[in-house]
Copies of this chain bind each other. A is one copy, B any other.
Amino acid sequence: MRDIAERVGVSIKSVSRVLNGESGVSAATTRCILDVADELGFRRNDLARGLRQRDRTGSVGVVLQRFSTWFFDNLLRGVDEVAERRDCLVITAGSRDADRERNTLLALSSRRVDGLIIEPLADDHAFLRPEQAGGMPLVFVDRPPQGIAADTVLADDAGGAHAATAALIARGHRRIAVLGAAANLHTVAERVRGYRAAHRAARLPVDNTLLVLGQDGSDSAGQELVRLLGGPAPPSAVFALNSVCAIGAARALRELGLQHRIALVGFDDFALADLLDPPITVVAHEVNEMGRVAAERLFAQIDGLAAAPRTIVMPTALLERGSGEIPGPGLR
């Protein structure tokens, strides 16, 4: 800016005014400044700007475990929609594991984004308390955080799992395998809870050997399913607690040629689920809407309008596509 000011022969403040669209500069000067700025290829340094402006950077961070899933693309789209209206840049960063999650979160915070939307991965997010105390708006999605109180947007995990399980039971399934990620994850625990509740409601026992948790790849989930199906008392249906496991299960069933014999329901929709053979039945929710809600809560905090932290639960719906409607032994 100084260069421009010198070149035009005005004060640096006038340049600042023009470049920020403030009023109070004559049309002629404005023109001239704009021209020189353009000629010089000037770009405002938002580091300095942010530093001066009480650390407002006009950007929010979204930290997700992995991109690329249908889930998070939709989530981001929802966030984007809201942010766009406020001319706010949405930057995202990956947090493949708990350690890197912490680094990423602290790095974005140091860089003074105006707020953070987080899919919590670590067991404990107490390390974010100083940020929160320092006024950093925080919204958690998909899973509630531990060690800190903040706005949280969740899906109805238990309810969705209950509905999925009940639908399988109603089709005559009595042995329903469960494939899922680590049991200590909130989503996993809740979905298992829904699964158990549905059994209880139908006065059916749960065989714990059918619960195979701790799977965090499609392949391992598929292998576990193969193992179960080869065992002495195989399941007639599978409930996959996330889309990664659902894909692993679909692939395994296909390889065994059992895709039309063993029922499969997944939690969370995924791309092409409807194009597989059979199309995969899933428990879905409006992920777009989830992103929108999360962003709205975040901006409410940014604007200082937020009351106490709230937890918002999004409803789920069972999308019956085919794989989940294969009848079990009770009805065959």
Contacts and interface: CB of A to CB of B under 8 A. Distances in A.
Given A51-B45, A110-B46, A251 B275 contact: yes
B112 A45 contact: yes
Contacts of A208: none
A69 interface: yes
A167 interface: no
Nearest to A88: B107
Contacts of A251: 275
What's the number of copies of this chain in the assembled complex? 2
Contact of A133 (B41, B46, B275): B41
Contacts of A40: 130
Nearest to A39: B130
A55 interface: yes
A43 B80 contact: no
Given A250-B275, A275-B251, A111 B41 contact: no
A308 interface: no
A90 B89 contact: no
A201 interface: no
A115 to B, nearest CB: 15
Contact of A68 (B68, B107, B131): B68
A80 B100 CA distance: 11
A47 B91 contact: no
A91 B109 CA distance: 13
A73 B272 CA distance: 17
Given A73-B66, A254-B275, A47 B55 contact: yes
Interface of A: 40-48, 50-51, 55, 57-59, 61, 66-70, 72-73, 76, 80, 84, 89-94, 96, 100, 103-104, 106-112, 129-131, 133-134, 247, 250-251, 254, 271-272, 275-277
